[in-house]
Structure 1
Amino acid sequence: MRFKSRFNPVGGVTDLLTYIRQPTPHRWPILFASCLMTFGLLFWVTKESVFVPPEPPKVVYISTFAEGRSDEEIRQSNVENQKRKEEREAELAELRQKKVDAYKALGRATGLDVDSMAKQAEAENAREAAAREARQKELYQAGTTLGDKPE
């Protein structure tokens, strides 16, 4: 009962009607502006905007190969690509070696023991490679045991 009596809207409605009945000079423009602002805000807040999903892109496949290549032409192309790849790798290895030699020369010039540092680096690289290989072997074995489950 107490809740119902505390929030009874009858008193508020009668106060509003009493205020509207009072003879004030600008009551209708103020009421109109109040209603306009209220409904304008509600219209702005409740407006629904729908975004249309974009059109899927039109894919055009570009092939740099001739249409009717024979198996022998494909093999020759693969051999040529492999040769180019090996040449690039050889160039990169040569550049890496030049870089290592330059750093070794700098180290010797500053009085560092470059040979022992190189041995430590080789040992560390070998350890990392062994760990990487062991991890790959472990993952491979785990993958094969998952596939061998009896049904």
Structure 2
Amino acid sequence: MRLKTRFNAKAGFADLWDYVREPRPYRWPLLAVSFAIPATGLALLSQESHFRPPDAPEVTYISTFAEGRSEEEIRQSNIANQQRKDALEAERAELERRKIEAYKSLGRATGLDVDAMEREAAMEREREAAEAAAQRRELYQAGQAVDSAGD
């Protein structure tokens, strides 16, 4: 009961009304500004933005192959492409070999033990290859386990 008498809303509103009715300079402009600030904030925060999804891209297929190629023509073009690929790979390997030889000669000229460095690099490559093979084996076994569990 005590809370009810202690907080009397009727008396609080009466006090507010008496305060508002008192003649004060700039009373109405200040009241308008005090209402405008939260109203503006609420108006800005309550707006929704709807973005339309982007247009689907227009795909234009460009084919460099003649339509109606026979199986033999396809096979011959695949063989020619593989030969070009092998030639490029051989050229890259030759450039890599020449680069390694140039670095070895530079190392020998500066007094480095390039043979020991080459052995260390070979061991490192072997270790990396073994790790990659173990990881592939592990992934393969995990895939086999998932496949057998799904059956």
Q: Please give the alpha-carbon distance, in whole angstroms, between the structure 1 residues aligned to 2:150 and 2:30.
A: 82
Q: Which moved further from structure 2: 113-122 or 1-10?
A: 1-10
Q: Which residue of 2 aligns with 1:54?
A: 54
TM-score (norm 2): 0.80
Contiguous gaps of at least 5 residues in structure 1: none
Q: Which residue of 2 aligns with 1:71?
A: 71
Q: Which residue of 2 aligns with 1:13?
A: 13
Q: Please give the alpha-carbon distance, in whole angstroms, between the structure 1 residues aligned to 2:67 and 2:4.
A: 85
**Secondary structure of 1:39's match?**
helix
- Report how far residue 101 of structure 1 moved: 0.5
- CA distance 1:105–1:5, shift in 2 (3 Å): farther
Q: What letter matches 2:21 in structure 1?
A: R
Q: Which residue of 2 aligns with 1:37?
A: 37
Q: Please give the alpha-carbon distance, in whole angstroms, between the structure 2 residues aligned to 1:58 and 1:10.
A: 69
**Secondary structure of 1:48's match?**
coil
Q: What letter matches 1:78 in structure 2?
A: N
- Report how far residue 89 of structure 1 moved: 0.7
Q: Please give the alpha-carbon distance, in whole angstroms, between the structure 2 residues aligned to 1:114 and 1:52.
A: 63
- CA distance 1:96–1:147, shift in 2 (3 Å): same
Q: Please give the alpha-carbon distance, in whole angstroms, between the structure 1 residues aligned to 2:59 and 2:8.
A: 66
Deviating above 6 A after TM superposition, structure 1's stretches of 4 or more consecutive aligned residues are: none
Q: Please give the alpha-carbon distance, in whole angstroms, between the structure 1 residues aligned to 2:145 and 2:31.
A: 79
Question: Within 5 A, what are the aligned runs for 1:2-151?
Answer: 8-149=8-149
The C-alpha deviation readout for 1:50-73, integer Å capped at 9, x for no partner, is: 222222222222222222111111
Structure 1 vs Structure 2: percent identity of aligned residues?
54
Q: What letter matches 2:117 in structure 1?
A: M
Q: Which moved further from structure 2: 76-85 or 122-131?
A: 122-131
Q: Please give the alpha-carbon distance, in whole angstroms, between the structure 1 residues aligned to 2:2 and 2:50.
A: 46
Q: What letter matches 1:50 in structure 2?
A: H
Contiguous gaps of at least 5 residues in structure 2: none
Q: Which moved further from structure 2: 41-50 or 77-86?
A: 41-50
- Report how far residue 75 of structure 1 moved: 0.9
Q: How many residues align?
A: 151
- CA distance 1:134–1:39, shift in 2 (3 Å): closer
- Report how far residue 133 of structure 1 moved: 2.3
**Secondary structure of 1:62's match?**
coil
